Chains A and B, each alone.
Chain A
Amino acid sequence: MVTKQVKIISFDQTEVLECESIRPENSSELLKLKGKSLLARGAGLSYCAASASQESIVVDMSSMNKILNFNPDELLVEVESGISIGELNNFLLKKGYVLPVLPGYPTISIGGCVAFNVHGKSNFQSGTFSSLVQEFKILHHSLGELKCSVYENEELFNLTIGGMGLTGIILSVKLSFRILPGGKLRFQRVRCSNLIDAVRIMNDSASQHEFVYSWNNLNLQGEKFGGGFVYLENFAAGILKTTNYKNKLNPLFRSPIHHSDFSIRCMCQIYSWIEGIRSEIKTVELDQSSFPIYNKEIYYQLFGQKGFREYQMIIPISQVEITFEKIRRAIAKHNVSVSLGSLKLFNGKSMHLRFDGEGVCLALDVRNCKSAMLFFQELDMISLECGAIVNLSKDSRLTADMISKTFPEYEIFKMGIKKYDPDGMIKSVLKTRLMLEV
């Protein structure tokens, strides 16, 4: 198969690469590539250039999107890894089922969900994506096609989930799903006076709600720091509506008009006012609320050509209060405007370099500028001090040094990668940055 030159841009706009790429359309084409240096690419929506490499052939998996098996009796579905999560979820919804873990955007591929162990807003109840993965098939450059599960090739199974595509090309994935409790969502909004208040409300409500998350204005100072809203959602009875999702998140397109610190602060304040006057309880459509970023793509486009930076960390519960205060001071010190602040509760266990654990996940976005970099460096320090886990897929700046200090299993993961790829056949920008090469 002939490779083509394609331009790959990380979703946060900070990394750009020209790569050799191919787009196979079925298994036989893909299996012919055994022995070659390959790196899988799904929807290309990782904030960092996880699927970009100038040394490996980038395999665009978007045409590998078939549903291979559907077993409602065992609540299992097997799909090719290039199918989007929105497409798969729509398929299940129409049959009266639902995927318990859904990331923010519907065009993210299932392979990408596995490779970065993505999470959604149901984290406290359903865990991260790893909780759904029962089995997958992977194309290993020398061993060929391998079936992996907790019963078979367990080490490779664990390395691949959250393994950033560094173990091979995921061909197909067997996932568990659940019965859809209702066709709509009952949505409740609770005002919170600050970040600590948000955590309190979320902790109190988490066991009774499927989805719990918050929006927090981190541009406020003093006791109002992080004031905003906690969103509590549960399935409700109603007629189901599905949407054919289209990918509207094109990293190649950015608005020529872009945010300033002033406009970010105004945007947050206006959002806060609007949310404040809207109905506190309502029933919403499942197709819209399942993927909160869908139809809000302009938020990312308004960061312009320079892009933006996102930081995500899971803060241990015992460190939440002191860490929030440190973050508040860091924001004031670097005078950055935070366009998004959001909390989710995590209730899992971290393994290798997976973004998982027990605590409160804080996500924040800032526009990409010099002060943002200094601010993020300070966030790294804060994160290390409180023992937080950081999200590799969201931050194209994190260094190997930082990661090795953050993740206790960094060396174990590195050795595992070395074991399955001793010749360093799989290469990526992310692998180089995290010094995971042989």
Chain B
Amino acid sequence: MKNVVWIIGGSSGLGREVAEQHVAIGDHVIISSRNQRDLDELCAHIKHSYSGVAQSFVVDYATIVSVETARSCIQTFKHQYPFPNVIYFLAGSNDENDNGLNAASTINQVLQNNFIGAIHLMNEAILASKNERLRIVIASSIAAARPRGKNIAYSTAKKALEQYCFGLMHALEKKDIAIQIVRFGYLDTRLSYGQRLPFKAAKVGVVAKQVMKLAHRTSGLYYLPKFWFVITLVVQAIPFFIFKKLKF
């Protein structure tokens, strides 16, 4: 049986690749992002490039500020599309000003776009699934492994998201709902574009295939590309008096 797949944050980067690859294998794909035009353009591209069809549904984490807004979003979705059995929460954003003593607005925005919006939507999606089989993939970041002077609010939001998901894994242990947390290393997206990185950014096409395989595994924390597990271990083991001198 083909999957119904909902990709939140699917109009560009890794999300776009995941969407295209799911359509390529015949899954029913619904793509969400903040901008209707971006979604229409990607859906048109998918329609012409693959034999399958992708549909669009606008979601903006910035507007999912409460249980009510999340519930309304899920209800609207259910009216339009069949309920998915795989959901990717890949949306998120960082802020160039998130580099130290941030303004409250920056902190709020980064937390909203990377944590609050995602958990509200995830909660409501789980409730709406009515204990049917559901696979959830959550995008985290290696930034969550060890905070540093840059992207403080972002790494905090991702760590909080991970913690929340671990809690859900425990709570949903007896149900057929699996949650995969994926800590992504450097990916070749606009975020890494032009940066002098200590490790090569992975191609999103390759990573997308690995993410799709993970979706059907048991709940857990994964690293993509996989070698980032080793790098994270090393980074976490560095004493703070050395870590504080590192620039990356």
Q: In this assembly, does B80 line the interface, its C-beta being within 8 Å of a C-beta of chain A?
A: no
Q: Compute how far the CA of A377 lies from the CA of B12 in the bound complex, rounded to whole angstroms.
A: 47
**A interface footprint on B63-82 (CB within 8 Å = 1, 0 otherwise):** 00000000000000000000
Contact assessment for B96 and A2 in the assembled complex, using a CB-CB cutoff below 8 Å: yes
Known: A26-B12, A27-B37, A27-B38. A63 touches B48 (CB 8 A): no
Q: Nearest Cβ in chain A — how far from B205, in angstroms?
A: 11
Inter-subunit contact B49/A67 (CB<8 Å)? yes
Contact residues of B between 1 and 30, Cβ < 8 Å to A: 11-13, 16
- B35 touches A (CB below 8 Å): yes
Do B41 and A25 have beta carbons less than 8 Å apart? no
A80, B44: Cα distance in complex, Å = 12
Q: Quick one: given A4-B194, A23-B190, A26-B11, are A68 and B45 in contact (CB under 8 Å)?
A: yes
0 or 1 for each of B38-61: is its CB under 8 Å from A? (1 = yes)? 100110110011000000000000
Report A-chain residues with C-beta under 8 Å of the C-beta of B248.
none
Contacting residue for A69 out of B34, B42, B48, CB 8 A: B48
A67 to chain B, nearest CB (A): 5
Residues of chain B within 8 A (CB-CB) of A5 are 194
Determine whether the beta carbon of A26 is less than 8 Å from that of B194: no
B89 to chain A, nearest CB (A): 18
B210 CB–A CB distance under 8 Å: no
Check if B189 is an interface residue, CB within 8 A of chain A.
yes
Contacts of A2 in B (CB 8 A): 96
Q: Is the CB of A63 within 8 A of B190?
A: yes
Contacts of A3 in B (CB 8 A): 194
Q: Please give the distance in Å from A270's CB to the nearest CB on chain B.
A: 37
A67 with B38: CB separation less than 8 A: no
How far, in whole Å, are A60 and B189 apart by their CA atoms in the complex? 12
Which B residues touch A28, using CB under 8 A? 34-35, 37-38
Q: How many residues on the A side are at the interface (Cβ–Cβ under 8 A)?
A: 24
> In the docked arrangement, what's the CA distance between A66 and B17, Å?
12
Asked whether, in the complex, the Cβ of B44 is within 8 Å of the Cβ of A25, the reply is no
Q: Are A25 and B49 in contact (CB under 8 A)?
A: no
Docked pose: A70 CA to B193 CA in angstroms? 30
User: Are B96 and A66 within 8 A (Cβ)?
Assistant: no
Q: Does A412 contact B (CB under 8 A)?
A: no
Q: Which of A6, A24, A26 has the most CB of B within 10 A?
A: A26
Q: B41 contacts A26, CB within 8 Å?
A: yes
Give CA–CA (A69, B193) in the complex, Å: 28
A194 contacts the other chain (CB 8 A): no
Cβ–Cβ contact A26 & B35, under 8 A? yes
Contacts of A21 in B (CB 8 A): 193-194
Q: Which of B156-171 contact A (CB under 8 A)?
A: none
Q: How far is the CA of A176 from the CA of B49 in the complex (A)?
A: 18
A66 contact from B13, B44, B195, Cβ within 8 A: B44
Known: A26-B11, A66-B45. 10 other contacts (CB 8 A): A5-B194, A21-B194, A22-B194, A25-B16, A26-B41, A27-B41, A66-B41, A67-B45, A67-B48, A91-B48
User: What are the 5 A-B residue pairs with the smallest beta carbon separation, nearest first?
Assistant: A4-B194, A25-B12, A66-B45, A28-B35, A26-B38
A: residues with CB less than 8 A from B are: 1-6, 21-29, 60, 63, 66-70, 80, 91
Sampled A-B contacts (25; CB under 8 Å): A2-B96, A3-B194, A4-B193, A4-B194, A4-B195, A21-B193, A21-B194, A22-B193, A23-B193, A24-B190, A25-B12, A25-B16, A25-B190, A26-B11, A26-B35, A26-B38, A26-B42, A27-B41, A29-B190, A60-B193, A66-B42, A67-B45, A68-B41, A68-B44, A69-B44
